[in-house]
Structure 1
Amino acid sequence: MRALDDDLLETWVSGWAQARGYRTRHEGRFPAALLHDRTNDWEYFALEPSHDEFAALASSARHSPTRLFTIVTTRVNEIYGAATVYGLQVRSTDEVLMIADMSGQDIEAPVPPWEDFETETTHEGNVGSVTVLSGGTPIAQGRVAVVNGHAVFDRIVTEPGFRRMGLGSYVMRALTALALEDDADSGLLVASVDGQELYRYLGWESLASVVMFEPRL
């Protein structure tokens, strides 16, 4: 399994941004994405930033109160301390960056778990999406973008009334089938607390914590 480094983080950011249609840029070694559908501002990403780098990120917060900073780290307590010093506050702390080996996965799309559910699939360029519908209403969905041989999974969501029915696993397997068509050999995603159990069941492993900060107003 590949070790977490700046290149792997940038691959995840690139795939995540492509899956969502976000524009990207760099500030020093930090990739950033323009969240045009949320804040219309930039979210910056950094792996294990030094105190000087954290200070540089925090200084850019002065440009906009809606700017976000996402740190991928195994030193969560130390990062919290730096945030206090440099005027940032924690926005979310319960996510982890995860990775999985795609080799040996079934290349065939899975069969939907119930006959009365319909599935819509798109695959344009390196981006694919899967949506499960019941009576024409979306009840589960997800997207995947393949970058540098890595399948970046995003927005894997099941509506509350349809959870614990196997739809999350179905969507993941259907997206994996699309990703394997683009020769992905590993997978990356950021998982919430609720999703981590499912992904571990599917063979994913945690790489690091993901902590999001915003300017302290």
Structure 2
Amino acid sequence: MTGERHVRDWVDGWAASRGAAPPLVEPWGYTIYVGLAEHVGRHVLGAANDGVREADVREVAGSVTGRGTHLKVFAERERVLPWLGEGWEPYGADDYLMTTALSGAPAPAVPAGYRLRSWTRGGVTRVLVTDRAGAFAARGQVAPTGASAAVDQIETAAEHRRRGLGSVVMRTLHAAAHEQGAVRGVLACTPAGRLLYESLGWEVVAPLTNATYAGSPAPRPERGAR
């Protein structure tokens, strides 16, 4: 399984998970229209690691003129950032694309004092964990797209961390995706998330560099003659 295949799996699953427009295939990767004020759309390079070409990144970055477009490149930041040009602002640091094989193993029991709810709409399964009072504790969702499924929006409230809730959410999503026919999972994560996912058998496919276009710098005013 190549990095490019995992990128395509993630693109398809992420778009389904977020209710975005179907990805458009480009010569260099994919365009997804999201439709939010600060996230109008995103360009995702289809290659990964050493397959990412400077010419492609420069072409895509140079074609953007409107604020709110995001760029996703599956290569190291130190390689990618010098290729972006003016107006691009990186965000996140040391993010990753990861994958794992999915099995039909049942989800673990929820720790005492918590309640788990799950539901599926439009093919996307969501999991919510609440505490005794009914307050938010953890969540996540998964979007199967055939043989693959993208895990997304994994979150645990600060006061409920280190209690196994992230593992419960992830394994519940694994089981739900496998039941819908998916045999492999993909996700994009932060360094903190990577620790949880590796403990559950996930492996890094490639680093992820993120940037958003904030607009060209304002021209400097001309000084009058002295």
TM range (shorter): 0.7 to 0.9
Shift of 1:69: 0.6
Shift of 1:145: 0.7
Task: Please say if 1:123 is aligned against 2:120.
Answer: yes
Segment drifting more, 16-25 vs 157-166: 16-25
Shift of 1:110: 2.5
Aligned residue for 2:196, secondary structure, equals helix
Aligned counterpart, 2:172: 174
Shift of 1:158: 0.2
Aligned residue for 1:23, secondary structure, equals coil
Aligned counterpart, 1:39: 38
Aligned counterpart, 2:60: 57
Gaps of 5+ in 2: 218-226
CA distance in 2, matches of 1:126, 1:10: 18
Aligned residue for 1:58, secondary structure, equals helix
Aligned counterpart, 2:70: 68
Under a length normalisation based on structure 2, what TM-score does the superposition of the two structures give? 0.84
Aligned counterpart, 2:89: 89
CA distance in 2, matches of 1:38, 1:131: 27
Aligned residue runs from structure 1 range 128-167, under 5 A: 128-134=125-131, 135-167=133-165
Amino acid in the other structure paired with 1:68? H
Larger radius of gyration: 2
Segment drifting more, 131-140 vs 204-213: 131-140
- Deviating beyond 6 angstroms after TM superposition, the runs of 4 or more aligned structure 1 residues are none
Aligned residue for 1:208, secondary structure, equals strand
Aligned residue runs from structure 1 range 166-205, under 5 A: 166-205=164-203
The structure-2 alpha-carbon separation of the partners of 1:197 and 1:38, relative to structure 1 and needing over 3 Å to count, comes to: farther
CA distance in 2, matches of 1:61, 1:187: 31
CA distance in 1, matches of 2:200, 2:120: 23
Contact 1:58–1:87 (Cα < 8 Å) also in 2? no
CA distance in 2, matches of 1:17, 1:190: 13
CA distance in 1, matches of 2:111, 2:17: 25
Amino acid in the other structure paired with 2:18? R
CA distances 1:40-69 after superposition (whole Å, capped 9, x unpaired): 51111103442332222112321x122111
Contact 2:93–2:190 (Cα < 8 Å) also in 1? no
Contact 2:97–2:186 (Cα < 8 Å) also in 1? yes
Under a length normalisation based on structure 1, what TM-score does the superposition of the two structures give? 0.87
Aligned pair count? 209
Aligned residue for 1:196, secondary structure, equals helix
